[in-house]
């Protein structure tokens, strides 16, 4: 199947060509024709599968005809976090490049008056987090009576974050006759039950249920004592050829600790967590996405939806407490057919969480040994890395022996060029 056979307008095909998508991904092949036919969707898709475009492309296509009225959006996309909503809005901008649809992004941390100005002019697409949308509704700044298409993205995350009552409140304000696209990374019985309240006779589609990790991610386990985590993190950062990396921590206090430590050791880092104000979060993301900072030290705020073109590495400074978060964290790399590497630092105290992860992904994670700089596929066990410490010279020697990856400068931004670097595809 090609994008040309989907019956899309010239303007959208042109923007798809420019962004470099050659063929629709599996979820896009399954979803786009049905959305264009006006069907409701109950979709199960992991992030990284092209899920956003699977609803955004047909949504934009459907909205080409028609006009919006002041304060009455024609479509509504609900996302659980500010970051995800921002990213969804970026995808809208891609496919709207040669069209003139209007969009507003309603998320916390941005001034009400700016958002209000856009609503007053009339928008075709409203992308929002539930809380901020309800604030605008309560202030009488937006009416949802004209919404023809509703998208609920990352429904399982909405459930985790306690947003389902808000979504129910919002959907009561929407017309009963509408098209609803409901997406979740997992379709547990609970999510399916919730989903069925929002959709009518949906087409069920499912791609890569969320109990598997993407096959193009090499994931390794570094067994370490709690005290040696920082030094082992530094060691692995020096050994690996990092283009850009996200380091996940479970606690905000550790985000700051890791960030300060790495800065002291001359790594260019920024951090991202829920306690930062919106402009600081946006600044961090922009610095990281533009390549000004090579490392983002983050909480799980960044684990969902964050899409950095060609992210080369993910590090778990801590083993995530919730096993599904492991899949979401490491899924930030190995996206769009590219390969990536993920390293998890695990101390003795975290073995329980690790066991849960390995049960979920149905395999044990390869153990990485600093002394051999080689990989072993065997059940994890605690090894004493302290006694195997490398000196700077050895680290440099190992660095040179490492698989032959071209320098960072050769890495072409996949999003901009549309070309997957050959050294990555041939791996």
Contacts with ligand AMP, residue ranges (CB under 6 A): 21, 24-25, 28, 47-53, 307, 335-336, 415
- What span, in angstroms and rounded, lies between the C-alpha atoms of 44 and 203? 11
- Please give the angle made by the CA atoms of 420, 425 and 426, to the nearest 5 degrees: 140
Residue in 157, 80, 82 with CA at minimum distance from that of residue 324: 157
Question: Which of 94, 119, 96 has its CA nearest to residue 106?
Answer: 119
Beta strands 366-369 and 374-376 are antiparallel
Nearer to ligand AMP, 224 or 339 (CB): 339
Q: Given the complex with ligand AMP, which of 45 and 367 has the nearer CB atom? A: 45
Q: What is the smallest separation between the CB atom of 29 and ligand AMP, expressed in angstroms? A: 9
Among candidate residues 133, 172, 175, 125, the one with its CA nearest the CA of residue 151: 125
Q: How far is the CB of 16 from ligand AMP (least distance, A)?
A: 8
Helices (H), 122-228: 130-138, 155-160, 164-172, 189-196
Q: Which is nearer to ligand AMP, 183 or 267 (CB)?
A: 183
Whole-number Å distance between alpha carbons of 151 and 126: 10
Q: Are 315 and 245 spatial neighbours (Cβ–Cβ below 8 Å)? A: yes
Whichever of 43 and 50 has its CB closer to ligand AMP, that residue is 50
Closer residue to ligand AMP, CB minimum distance, 27 or 258 = 27
Q: Are 219 and 213 in contact (CB under 8 A)?
A: yes
Shortest spacing between CB 331 and ligand AMP, in angstroms: 9
* Least Å from the CB of residue 304 to ligand AMP: 10
Q: Which is nearer to ligand AMP, 15 or 232 (CB)?
A: 15
| Residue 17 CB contacts under 8 Å (≥ 6 apart), including other chains | 418
- When the beta carbons of 34 and 415 are compared against ligand AMP, the nearer one is 415
Q: How far is the CB of 308 from ligand AMP (least distance, A)?
A: 8
Q: Which helix (H) or strand (E) covers residue 129, if one does?
A: none
């Amino acid at each position: 199947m090609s994008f040309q056979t989907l019956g899309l307008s010239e303007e959208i095909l042109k923007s798809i060509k420019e962004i470099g998508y050659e063929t629709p991904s599996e979820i896009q092949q399954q979803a786009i024709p049905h959305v264009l036919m006006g069907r409701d969707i109950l979709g199960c898709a992991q992030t990284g599968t092209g899920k956003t475009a699977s609803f955004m492309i047909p949504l934009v296509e459907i909205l080409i005809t028609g006009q919006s009225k002041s304060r009455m959006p024609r479509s509504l996309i609900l996302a659980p976090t500010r970051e995800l909503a921002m990213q969804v809005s970026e995808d809208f901008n891609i496919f709207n490049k040669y069209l003139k649809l209007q969009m507003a992004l309603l998320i916390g941390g941005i001034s009400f008056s700016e958002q209000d100005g856009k609503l007053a002019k009339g928008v075709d697409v409203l992308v929002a987090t539930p809380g901020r949308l309800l604030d605008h509704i309560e202030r009488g700044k937006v009416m949802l009576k004209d919404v023809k298409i509703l998208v609920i993205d990352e429904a399982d995350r909405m459930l985790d974050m306690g947003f389902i009552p808000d979504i129910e409140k919002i959907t009561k304000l929407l017309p009963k006759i509408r098209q609803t696209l409901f997406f979740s990374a997992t379709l547990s019985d609970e999510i399916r039950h919730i989903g069925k309240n929002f959709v009518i006779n949906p087409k069920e589609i499912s791609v890569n249920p969320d109990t598997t990790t993407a096959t193009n991610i090499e994931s390794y386990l570094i067994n370490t004592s709690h005290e040696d985590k920082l030094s082992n993190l530094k060691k692995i950062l020096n050994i690996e050829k990092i283009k850009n990396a996200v380091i996940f921590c479970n606690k905000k206090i550790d985000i700051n600790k890791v960030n300060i430590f790495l800065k002291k050791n001359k790594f260019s880092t920024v951090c991202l967590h829920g306690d930062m104000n919106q402009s600081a979060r946006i600044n961090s993301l922009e610095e990281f996405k533009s390549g000004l900072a090579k490392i983002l030290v983050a909480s799980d705020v960044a684990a969902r939806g964050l899409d950095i073109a060609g992210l080369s590495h993910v590090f778990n400074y801590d083993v995530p407490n919730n096993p599904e978060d492991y899949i979401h964290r490491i899924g930030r790399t190995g996206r769009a057919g590219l390969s990536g590497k993920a390293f998890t630092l695990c101390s003795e105290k975290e073995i329980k969480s690790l066991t849960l992860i390995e049960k979920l992904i149905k395999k044990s994670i390869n153990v990485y040994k600093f002394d051999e700089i080689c990989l072993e596929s065997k059940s994890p066990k605690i090894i004493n890395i302290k006694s195997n410490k490398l000196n700077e010279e050895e680290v440099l020697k190992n660095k040179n022996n490492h698989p032959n990856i071209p320098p960072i400068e050769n890495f072409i931004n996949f999003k901009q060029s549309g070309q997957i670097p050959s050294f990555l595809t041939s791996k």
